[in-house]
Amino acid sequence: MPKNHVQIYTDGACSGNPGPGGWGAILVSGTHEKELCGGEPNTTNNRMELTAVISALQALKRPCEVTLTTDSKYIVDAVTQGWAKKWRANNWMRNNKDKALNADLWQQLLDLLEINDVTFVWVKGHAGHSYNERCDRLAVAYYLNLSKSKI
């Protein structure tokens, strides 16, 4: 049985690094769109980028063929160039002395990539890509809301 094809767009944002952060994702299947967002009060931009991808893939109800568009070179390069799998194989070490950051999230992402057929596409951030801009607005709105609730 052929897998459904889903377009996923993601972005993460952070005010300060670390600081309050948010993430946004949009899933598109045919004429249907679903927006997701979330955040954390004290996080990093890379954690929010990873969380956006993970949350979007977790929202899929069955294994899918996915085209995932992100402005995160960190994610695209780590997956497509095999870095994340090497880090896992080396017990989450980037080399002999440096630990891989965000190992907990990389593990979750690698597990999800074993379920879904994902093709990663990089787009330049803040360059007018409509879905990337929407994801950014979702992410920023979420962390701004987090910041307001602490006042």
List residues with catalytic annotation.
Answer: 11-12, 49, 71, 126, 136
Q: Which helix (H) or strand (E) holds 119?
A: strand 117-122
Q: In what order do the strands lie in the sheet with 19-29?
A: 32-43, 19-29, 4-14, 64-70, 117-122
Distance between CA atoms of residues 1 and 11, nearest Å: 31
CA nearest to 62, candidates 104, 4, 20: 4
122 forms beta bridges with 70
Distance between CA atoms of residues 131 and 27, nearest Å: 10
Q: How far apart are the first and last CA of the chain?
A: 52
- DSSP H helical segments within 81-129, as ranges? 83-89, 103-113
